[in-house]
Chain A
Amino acid sequence: MKLTINQKSYELDVDIRTTVLDVCREHLGLTGPKKGCDHGQCGACTVLINGRRINSCLTLAVMHEGDEITTVEGLGTPEQLSPLQVAFIDEDAFQCGYCTSGQLCSAVGVIDELKHNWPSHVSPHVEGHIDITDAEIAERMSGNICRCAAYPNIVRAVKRIAVQTLCDEQKSHPNPRARNTKKSVMVQAEEQV
């Protein structure tokens, strides 16, 4: 089977039962995603497939031929960290680091979902604009658990980059409705300071 991971193409001959997680870790030396529970309950295995965050332990490699898979290794390198990775360091958003690969990939997914104005369980209304609050970030990240309890700082880091990313989006948007969005995003940022 042929898989594309972090923009590289791999030709693989693996057991049909191999999950995307095991392909990464056991066959390709991509040990970023972690096997925390192997049952989709902890989120440490979170990767992005076609830009969407999923639990890589709960999907078969064979089902993803032709898909674009991104692991934490594809988000940035030690020499060139992504802004989100820098934020995790600045905000002290990890201790042992075991959940962190999954937190990062999940956060990338969260930010994309916010860009598409997806509501969440804590959104006051399922329609209309979604405000980026601590409660929204915590709810959206609830599929990633952290035994070290770095949660407050994870929320801080993700929220900062979410606000920044959505702000940057609005700057390039000619739509007057989007200007309202930018304003509320800026209000959130001010509240944070």
Chain B
Amino acid sequence: MKTFAYYRAEQPQQASHLLASHSGKFIAGGTNLLDLMKLQLETPIALVDISRLPLTDIEKTPDGGLKIGAMVTNSDLAADAQIRKYYPVLSKALLAGASGQLRNKASTGGNLLQRTRCYYFYAPDSACNKRKPGSGCPALAGKNRMLAILGISEHCIAQHPSDMAVALRALGASVQTQLADGASRQIDLADFYLKPEDHPERETVLAHGELITHVILPPPVAGQQTYKKIRDRASYAFALTSLAMIAEVKAGSSIDEQRFNHVQLAFGGIGVMPWRNPAVEQLLTSQPANHALFHAAADLLLQDAKGSGENDFKISLTRRLLVSALSDALKGALS
């Protein structure tokens, strides 16, 4: 680990100001950043410790949503009574990720900003367009089993590894930030992440020194909430493909003609960012719900999907996951 100057912030604006003055990075839980620093994949000259900022509350918003402090730990968020009752997909997604020890330390803000676990990104001596722009992407023709099939470019196919972010995307969450000059803004998660294109080193729209202070959830919507994660092991492994789904079946639909009233879907493991496609959701509510419709939705979702060799399987696996989850939602409504 390269050495750094250490500053502790007591207030959010002070934190932004410290970072603006000293360069470097924020550190919250540290479970991703310290991992990267041990490999010298990150070498900040200063760390601004934001772990003790008063951003640990989960409060109701005036419109009936929730405002989650960026320093709320993943464990506390998953176990929160309001989250479990009104946004269970978020709790389920959090619990599907990492280990108990990591969830106890990881922060809401930090989870959003965690870096890819691409083998080449994590190999300090390897070429990598994300770490060293212009050096090339060995993953395209190499070990790419865990990497993305959607949103990729010829410069980068790294997947976003978070489960929490997938649930937040499905829920329509937004991120509230604080800038060094004291200004604050709210960014819809749909606009938060950047596709790699020809600049994979830039992953979000955040400016330097811009601090995530809260994640905002809209008011809860009706419908069954599920998180399904397919992975190599039963626990403590990243997703090959995953799905956060909120699905409301139209009440009173007969067995012959069931319909979805409302569907919100986001996918993990397969995208350069949590992947949500509103056209797929519109299709699913436009016609009677049956296998043909589910496959048409999968066709739409995956029409631009591109495997790079070892991850080709994700295309059909994601199709089967979507079809199976939608079928289960219908069956669940009948019982």
Chain A positions near chain B (C-beta within 8 angstroms): 15-17, 19, 38-40, 43, 46, 52-55, 58-60, 62-63, 106, 109-110, 113, 116, 118-121, 123, 126-127, 138-144
Contacts and interface: CB of A to CB of B under 8 A. Distances in A.
B84 interface: yes
29 contacts: A16-B3, A16-B6, A39-B35, A39-B38, A40-B31, A54-B105, A55-B31, A58-B102, A58-B105, A59-B29, A60-B6, A62-B49, A63-B27, A106-B101, A109-B100, A113-B75, A118-B78, A118-B79, A119-B78, A120-B95, A121-B96, A123-B95, A126-B88, A126-B95, A127-B85, A138-B235, A142-B100, A142-B234, A144-B99
Contact of B35 (A40, A53, A143): A40
Contacts of B79: 116, 118-119
A46 B105 CA distance: 12
Contact of A63 (B51, B88, B99, B102): B51
Contact of A59 (B4, B30, B91, B236): B30
Nearest to B233: A142
B101 A53 contact: yes
B92 A126 contact: yes
Interface pairs A-B: 8 shortest CB-CB: A143-B99, A142-B235, A118-B79, A121-B95, A142-B236, A126-B91, A126-B84, A52-B104
B7 to A, nearest CB: 11
Nearest to A110: B100
Interface in B72-97: 75, 78-79, 84-85, 88, 91-92, 95-96
Interface residues on B, range: 20 to 34
Interface string B199-211: 0000000000000
Nearest to A123: B95
B6 A142 contact: no
Given A118-B75, A143-B236, A54 B104 contact: yes
A109 B101 CA distance: 9
Given A40-B35, A123-B95, A142-B99, 19 more contacts: A17-B1, A17-B4, A39-B35, A40-B31, A40-B101, A46-B101, A55-B102, A55-B105, A58-B31, A59-B29, A59-B31, A60-B30, A121-B92, A127-B88, A139-B235, A141-B100, A142-B234, A143-B100, A143-B102
A126 B91 CA distance: 7
A15 B3 CA distance: 9
Contacts of B3: 15-17
Interface in B266-300: none
A109 B3 CA distance: 32
A19 B34 CA distance: 9
A53 B92 contact: no
B34 A140 contact: no
A53 B104 contact: yes
Interface in B98-157: 98-102, 104-105
A58 B35 contact: yes
A17 B236 CA distance: 27
Contacts of B38: 38-39
B84 A58 contact: no
Nearest to B4: A16
Contacts of A144: 99
B300 to A, nearest CB: 30
Contacts of B75: 52, 113, 118
Nearest to B73: A52
A17 to B, nearest CB: 5
B100 A140 contact: yes
Contacts of B234: 139, 142
Contacts of B101: 40, 43, 46, 53-55, 106, 109, 143
B6 A113 contact: no
A74 B29 CA distance: 24
A141 B91 CA distance: 18
Contacts of B95: 119-121, 123, 126
A59 B235 CA distance: 23
Nearest to A47: B101
Contact of A53 (B6, B51, B88, B100): B100
- Name, among A15, A120, A121, A143, the residue most crowded by chain B CB atoms within 10 Å (CB to CB): A121
A46 B79 CA distance: 21
Contacts of B27: 60, 63
